[in-house]
């Protein structure tokens, strides 16, 4: 480069005869395209996430409403169960179907105490419950009782 005229010599810059000055434009276009694609990807991701968030919020609301409906149904069924189990309802059904059932006389009730080592075994031939002693040294009779 000549300092006085500030003219450049093409052989000093390395510029060939077929070389143009557009490579910096291609680099600039590539960089701008890269930046624009990054911005577009960020924008698309944000829109997609917002859409997904709204969709999940709608689904949560729907499921919450279903849970409330099921809880209401459970409460209704529990109330119906309590009404059906009530003594008034059972007594009404006994009278309605003319069943020969009546309340138990307290003199008919017997209580058994369980001791350690005893196991209750239901009888195969009757409705009574026999108690078997499993402790050492106990002899059983043929009826299953303890001697």
Cα separation, 16 vs 58, whole angstroms: 66
Mean pLDDT by 10 residues, the chain (147 residues): 58 54 83 96 97 97 97 97 93 88 82 70 52 49 45
Question: What's residue 105's pLDDT?
Answer: 85
Instruction: List the one residue out of 113, 146, 122 whose CA is nearest residue 132.
Output: 146
Domain limits of the chain? 20-88, 110-147
In terms of pTM, does the model score above 0.85? no
Question: What's residue 110's pLDDT?
Answer: 83
Contacts of 140 (CB under 8 A, 6+ apart): 132, 133, 146, 147
Q: Tell me if 1 sits within 8 A of 12, measured CB to CB.
A: yes
Question: What's residue 141's pLDDT?
Answer: 44
Instruction: List the one residue out of 141, 133, 137 whose CA is nearest residue 114.
Output: 133
Beta bridge partners of 140: 146
Question: What's residue 117's pLDDT?
Answer: 67
Question: What percentage of the chain's residues is helix, strand, coil (to nearest 5)?
Answer: 55, 10, 35
Question: What's residue 142's pLDDT?
Answer: 43
């Amino acid at each position: 480069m000549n300092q006085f005229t500030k003219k450049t010599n093409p052989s000093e810059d390395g510029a060939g005869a077929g070389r143009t000055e557009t490579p910096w434009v291609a680099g600039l276009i590539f960089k701008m395209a890269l930046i624009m694609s990054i911005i577009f990807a960020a924008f698309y991701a944000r829109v997609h996430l917002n859409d997904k968030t709204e969709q999940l919020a709608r689904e949560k609301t729907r499921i919450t409403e279903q849970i409330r409906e099921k809880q209401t149904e459970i409460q209704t069924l529990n109330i119906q169960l309590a009404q059906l189990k009530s003594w008034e309802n059972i007594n009404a059904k006994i009278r309605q179907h003319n069943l020969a059932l009546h309340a138990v006389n307290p003199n008919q009730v017997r209580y058994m105490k369980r001791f350690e080592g005893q196991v209750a075994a239901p009888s195969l031939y009757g409705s009574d419950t026999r108690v078997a002693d499993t402790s050492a040294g106990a002899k059983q009779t043929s009826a299953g009782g303890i001697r």
